[in-house]
A and B are shown apart, each in its own frame.
Chain A
Amino acid sequence: MTRYVMVADLRRCVGCQTCTAACKEGNATPPGVQWRRVLDLEAGTYPDVNRVFVPVGCQHCANPPCMEVCPSTATGQRADGIVTIDYDLCIGCSYCIMACPYDARSLVDRTEYAFGEAATAAEAARADRRTIGVATKCTFCAGRIDAGTARGLVPGQDPEATPLCVNSCISGALSFGDIEDPTGPIATLLAENQWFRMHESEGTEPGFYYIWDKGKL
C-alpha cells in the first residue's frame, strides 16, 4: 500500500511564502485562494517569545471530515490517501469548508483576476472555469504524481513527480513521499525526529506531519 504524506520541518521553515507563491502560480488559484500557505504564529510574553512559521493546507486525512459531510460524494479519497474533489459532482454547498478543522478549503463564486476585471495572458491561459462555485483545496499535485509515477518516477524524490510546494521550498522544510515505504526518506525522517500532527484529537489521522523538537507551540 502507498500513503502519500507531507512533512513540514518547522525547524527549517522561515515563513518566506515561496511555497505559497509556487502553489498559487502552479495551480492557477484565483486571488485570495491559497491551497498552501504558511502561518506566522507567536507564543509567549515579551521578552520570552517564540515565533514559528507553520505551513498549512489540506492534511489529506485518513478520516477526512470533509468527505463525511459531503452530500454529493464529490469529496473522495484515493487508495494512496490523497483526498480529492470531483468538480463535476460538487454542488458548492460549503459543508466541507465548515467541517474541515484545518481551514484548508476555499470556494469562490465568481472569477477574479490579479489586476482586476481583466485576465492577464497568463491567467487566460490557465483559467479553469470548473473551479468556480465549487470547493477547492490542495491536491498534493496529484496530476504531477500520476504523470510522474506513470513514467516510473518517485514522488518526493523526482521533481517531476513531486508537489510544486515541495520542489520550491528553499529551506528544505517540506518533504513528500510514501510513508508506507519503511526504508524511504519519509519514514526515516519521522523515525529520527520528534513530530506531531494537527488536531490529532479529532481523529482525522492527518497525512501531514510537523517535525518540532522545542516543546509546545
Chain B
Amino acid sequence: MSTPAAREIRNVPSYCYNCVAGPDLMTVRVENGVATRIEPCHAAATIHPGLGRVCVKAFGLVQKTYNPHRVLAPMKRTNPRKGRDEDPGFVAISWDEALDTIAARLRDIRARGLLDDAGLPRVAATFGHGGTPQSYMGTFPAFLSAWGAIDYSFGSGQGVKCVHSEHLYGEFWHRGFTVAADTVHTRYIISCGTNVEVSGGVCAVRRHADARIRGVKRVQVEPHLSPTGACSAEWVPIKPKTDPAFLLALVHALLFEHERRALDLPFLRERTASPYLIGPDGYYLRDPTSFKPLLWDEATGAPVPFDTPGARPALEGRFTIAEAVTRGPDDEVRPQHNVAARTAFTAMADAVQGYTPDWAGGICDIPAETIRRIAAEFLENACIGETIEIDGETLPFRPVAVTLGKTVNNGWGAYECCWARTMLATLVGALEVPGGTLGTTVRLNRPHENRLKSVQPGEDGFMVAHFNSTGRKDWLAVPSGRNAHRTLVPIVGNSPWAQALGPTHLAWMFSSDAPKEWPAPPLPEIWFAFRTNPAISFWDTAEIGRAMARMPFIVAFAYTFDETNHMADILLPDATDLESTQLIRVGGTKFVEQHWAHHGVALRAPAVAPQGEARDFTWISTELARRAGLLERYNAALNRGAAGAALKGEGYDFSLAPEQAHDVDTIWNAVCQAATAELSHGAEVHDLDWFKRNGHYVVPFKREDWYLYPTMVRLGLRFELPYQERLLRVGVELGRRLHEQGIHWWDHQLDEYVAIPQWHDVPERWVQSIRDMGGDPDDYPLWGITTKVMPYTTGNNAGIPLMHEVSANLRNHGAVVINATTAASLGIATGDWVEVRSPIGATRGRAAVVQGCRPDTVVIPGQFEHWKTPFAKDLAFPSLNTVVPLSLALTDATGSGADVVRVALRKVAAPAEAGAA
C-alpha cells in the first residue's frame, strides 16, 4: 500500500441520480488521479433529507468507471445483418468518422423533412428509467430541441419499471405523477406492494426508518414478503392482481360500516365534487344558463350552481330537479326536466355497496375481519378535525396514507386501485395535507420544479387538465407517433413527457403488425438509445430483440456491449458518471419521497479523466449539432434553458453566442452562473469553479409547498373526485372516434372509462391470456411476478461485480422465489435448478425456498438473462421478462400492462443453454 505521504488525495463533489428516487449527493475520493471510493456528502447532511448519503448503487460507480469491458472508442458495425445470432463485427473508428456518419444522415433527413410519409418522425430516441438519463446526457436535450420532431414512443419497459397508471391518474387528480405518504408526519400506511425500502431511495428509507421508531404502523399488502414487508408491522399476503377488490372493500367499509361523521365531511363538501348532482344519463346536472354543475343547497332547498356563495351543499341524497341540462359527449346539451338526481357521493356509495369485506375476502384470499380491522385502524388514525402548523400556517392533520406499488399500479385493475386509494384519502380529508397521501412532482404538467404552480382553475371548479382532444374536429385520427399516445390515450396529454408515458409496447408491436386502419408506420431512420436496454427490460424480450433488429440505423451511446446495442450501427462511448460535467436541479419535491426543505442545483464534476476515448456528452452534443448544421438552434435552446436553467433572466445574462461551438466548461460555467442568479434573485452568482469546490447551492423551499391543499383553498378549487364525469365523457367520445374509423380492437380498453370504477375479474384476464396464447390454464397454475433488490433497482449495473457480490447476501438474488409448501410438493429444494415457463418461453434459475411467499406465486427478482452484457451474461439468472407476453389484450386504457403472467414450475437438471429458452 502506498504511504499516505505519497498520495495526492482529492474529494470531488458529485451526485447519484441512477434511479428516480434521487438525486442524492456524494463525494468521489480520488487518489493520485484514480477514483478509489464513493463517500457520502457530509457537507449536505443539513439540507439533504437522507443526510447527504447515497445508496448501495453509488458504490458501484468506481467499478463502473474502470470496468475493463467498457466500449472506449467509437465503433461501427461491419455486418449489415442484425439479430441476436449475428456478430455485429464492430470495429473502432474515429470520433470524426462516427459523428460525420451520423451527421450526414441527419442532414439528409432534414433535407427531406422531419416527418416521413406516414407523418411520423424519422428520428426516434429512447432513454432509460424515469427520465434519469437526462441527468447524465449533458446538453443532449438542447440537441434534441434543436432537431425538432422526435419519436419517443419506443419504450424500455413498464410494469415493474414504472407506476404507470398512478402517473396519469395521480397527476390528473392531485398533481401526483408519483404518490407517496407524508411519511414524516403519518401514523398509518396501507402499502399495496409499494416496495419503498428497496426502490424509495435514500430519502424514503431514512424517513420510513424514523417513522418506525416514532411508532408508525405500516400494513404491507403483497403476495410475497419483500424487504418493505419485512420492515412493516403487518404482512397481508394478497392474491396477485386482486388489490382493486381489497381497496374497494376498504372504501365500502368506510362508507357502510362506520358512522358518517367519522369521515371528513367538510373536506368532502368543500374540496371535492361529492355534492355535485348526477343526472339519469350519468352526467352532471348543470345550470341551464351558466352550464355550471349543480349541487343541492340545504339552506334554500333548491339546486344551485356549485360556486354559489352561502350555499350549504348536501353531501348525499336523492333529489328531483325541475330544470337542468347535462353535457354529454361531443358537447351534446341534453335538457333535463323533473329528473331524479343523486349526489356524486351517493352515486359512489351506490356503486361500492356490494363490495363488502366478506365479498373481497374470497377474491383476495384475505380474511374479511382483517380487511375490516384495517379499515377501522385507518379511520382511527385519521385524526379528523385535528390541525398542525407548517411554516406558520395551520393545516389539516390527517396522518393516514395509502400507497400503491408497481404491478398494482399497472395494467388492468390499476384504474380501480388508483381511484380507490385516492378516495380512501379523500373520505378522511387526507389528500394533500400533512400526514396524508401526497403527490410529489409533475411531468405531464409544468413547471416540473414546483407542482403547485401547475395548478390553474379549469372547468367545473376543478384544476385544469390537459387531455388529448377526443372531439370530432380535433381528435388525432392518424397517430403522430408510433405508439399512438395522442390518438388512444386522452389522459396522457401531449407534454414533452407524454409520449414516453403512452402505450410504449405498442410501438414495438406495431412495428411488425400495424393496425390496418392507419398508414403502415415506417421504422425510424435513426434511433438514438442511451442508458436503456429494452432487449432485456421489456416483455417478450425475444420479440423485442427481433423488432429492434429491423431498425435501419441505430446510434447507441454505449458503456459496454449489451443486448440492445448489439443491434446498433454506431456505438458512441460517452464519459460516464465520474468522468463528466453536469449541473442539475435538486430538492423541492421530486419523485417518490424526495421532499426537501431546500431546492437548488448540484454539480457532477469530473472526478477523473474519461477512460479511453470516451467523451463528455456535452461535447458529443455540441459536435453533433455543429456537424448537422444545427449549431445556432442548439445554442438558442441552451440559452432558453435546455441545460436546466435559462441563461438570461431578470438582472442577469449569461447567454452563449449563437454561432459558436462552445466547449464543455464554457457551457456549464454559464449554466452555473445563471442557475445561481435565478435561485438567489440575482444576489449571488457562482461559476463552475465555485461549484467544483462546493458541489451544490440551495435556497430554502417552503415545507408548506409539499402540500397541494393550501393552493386548492387559495384558488377555491375542488379535487375532481369521486365521480369521473370527464373520463366517462372522454371514453364515449374516444369510442365514437375510433368506431368512425372502423377501429374496434381498442373496445376492451374503452370499457375502463366509467365514472365510478367497478370490480371485474381482473386476474381472469391473465388466465384468459393463456388460452389466447394457445395454452391450457391448468398447465400454468402459478402466478409469476417480479420484484426488485436495491443494488439492481435501475442503475444499469448488471455488469458490476460489486453489486452482484453484495446482493448475494439477499436470499432472492438471481433466484426463483418459491413458497416452501409448493416447493416441497414439486420436490424442489433451495439451490435446485428450476424452470418457469409460460406459453411464450421459459426461464431457468436456482430456487430460493421461503415461507414468505404465497403458495400460488413465484417471484423472479430483477431483470437478467443477459446474453451479451459482459459479466452479467455469465450469471445464469432468470428473468420474468422472458415469459411475459407483449399483449394488446393485457393493455389497459392508459396503455399500460403489468409484470404478471401465469406460469408452470418444474425442477430441472441444469440451466438452459444460451438461446434454448
Contact = CB atoms under 8 A, between A and B. Distances in A.
Interface in B412-427: none
B857 to A, nearest CB: 11
A121 B70 CA distance: 14
Contacts of A121: 34, 66
Contacts of A126: 1, 31, 36
The 10 A-B residue pairs with the shortest CB-CB distance, nearest first, are A51-B230, A120-B66, A21-B59, A17-B806, A171-B209, A12-B209, A14-B197, A114-B801, A18-B56, A128-B1
Contacts of B809: 15, 17, 20, 34, 37-40
Given A49-B235, A172-B209, A21 B230 contact: no
B69 interface: yes
Interface in B851-877: 851-855, 871
Contact of B212 (A11, A21, A26, A115): A11
B760 interface: no
B401 interface: no
Contact of A14 (B1, B205, B811): B205
Given A46-B855, A115-B69, A120-B66, A16 B38 contact: no
Contact of A125 (B34, B225, B237, B791): B34
Given A11-B213, A122-B36, A168 B53 contact: yes
B56 A16 contact: yes
Interface in B25-59: 31-32, 34-40, 42, 50-51, 53-56, 59
15 contacts: A34-B805, A40-B809, A46-B821, A46-B855, A51-B229, A53-B230, A115-B63, A115-B68, A121-B34, A122-B34, A122-B63, A125-B32, A159-B40, A168-B54, A172-B206
B782 to A, nearest CB: 15
A130 B852 CA distance: 43
Interface in B800-855: 801-803, 805-807, 809-811, 819-821, 850-855
Given A11-B212, A20-B809, A49 B67 contact: no
A215 interface: no
Contact of B42 (A15, A50, A167): A167
Contact of B791 (A17, A53, A130): A17
Contacts of A18: 53-56, 59, 790
Contact of A12 (B53, B213, B227): B213
B60 interface: yes
A172 B210 contact: yes
A49 B852 contact: yes
Interface in A1-60: 9, 11-12, 14-18, 20-22, 24-26, 28, 31-32, 34, 37-40, 42, 44-47, 49-53
A107 interface: no
A150 to B, nearest CB: 13
A24 B805 contact: yes
A118 B801 CA distance: 14
Contacts of B60: 21
Nearest to B207: A171
Nearest to B813: A40
A154 interface: no
Nearest to A214: B233
Contacts of A39: 809
A166 to B, nearest CB: 11
Interface string A166-179: 01111111000000
Nearest to A171: B209
A43 to B, nearest CB: 8
B42 A22 contact: no
Interface residues of A, number: 55
Contacts of A130: 1
B37 A25 contact: yes
B493 to A, nearest CB: 35
Contact of B68 (A24, A118, A124): A118
Contacts of A38: 809
A91 interface: no
Contact of A24 (B39, B40, B66, B802): B802
B53 A17 contact: no
A100 interface: no
A114 B208 CA distance: 34
A99 interface: no
Interface in B748-805: 790-791, 801-803, 805
Interface string B207-233: 011101100000000000101111100
B202 interface: yes
A127 interface: yes
Given A49-B851, A159-B42, A17 B807 contact: yes
B189 interface: no
Interface string B315-343: 00000000000000000000000000000
A171 B206 contact: yes
B360 interface: no
A171 B198 CA distance: 11
Contacts of B2: 125
Contacts of B40: 159, 167-168
A106 to B, nearest CB: 13
B56 A114 contact: no
Interface string A110-140: 0000111010111111111010000000000
Nearest to A113: B801
Given A12-B212, A172-B210, 4 more contacts: A25-B62, A25-B802, A42-B852, A51-B225
A24 B808 CA distance: 14
A15 B1 contact: no
Contacts of A159: 40, 42
Contacts of B235: 47, 49
Interface string B864-895: 00000001000000000000000000000000
B233 to A, nearest CB: 10
Contacts of A34: 805-806, 809
Interface string B296-331: 000000000000000000000000000000000000
Contacts of A50: 230
A39 B228 CA distance: 15
B381 to A, nearest CB: 20
B907 to A, nearest CB: 20
Contact of A52 (B67, B230, B802): B230
A157 to B, nearest CB: 12
A31 B63 CA distance: 12
A45 B851 contact: yes
A102 to B, nearest CB: 15
Interface string B263-302: 0000000000000000000000000000000000000000
Interface in B337-389: none
Interface in B160-205: 197-198, 202, 205
B698 to A, nearest CB: 20
B66 A42 contact: no
B38 A25 contact: yes
A53 B225 CA distance: 13
Contacts of B210: 172
A171 B231 CA distance: 11
Interface in A147-191: 159, 164, 167-173
B68 A170 contact: no
Nearest to B819: A46
A31 B34 CA distance: 20
A46 B810 contact: no
A39 B808 CA distance: 10
Given A12-B212, A121-B34, A122-B66, A115 B820 contact: no
A151 B197 CA distance: 37
Contact of A115 (B53, B67, B202): B67
B801 A115 contact: yes
Contacts of B39: 22, 26, 164, 167-168
B188 to A, nearest CB: 17
A22 B36 contact: no
Name which of A38, A46, A123 has the most chain B CB atoms within 10 A of its CB. A46
Nearest to A119: B66
Contacts of B55: 16, 18, 170
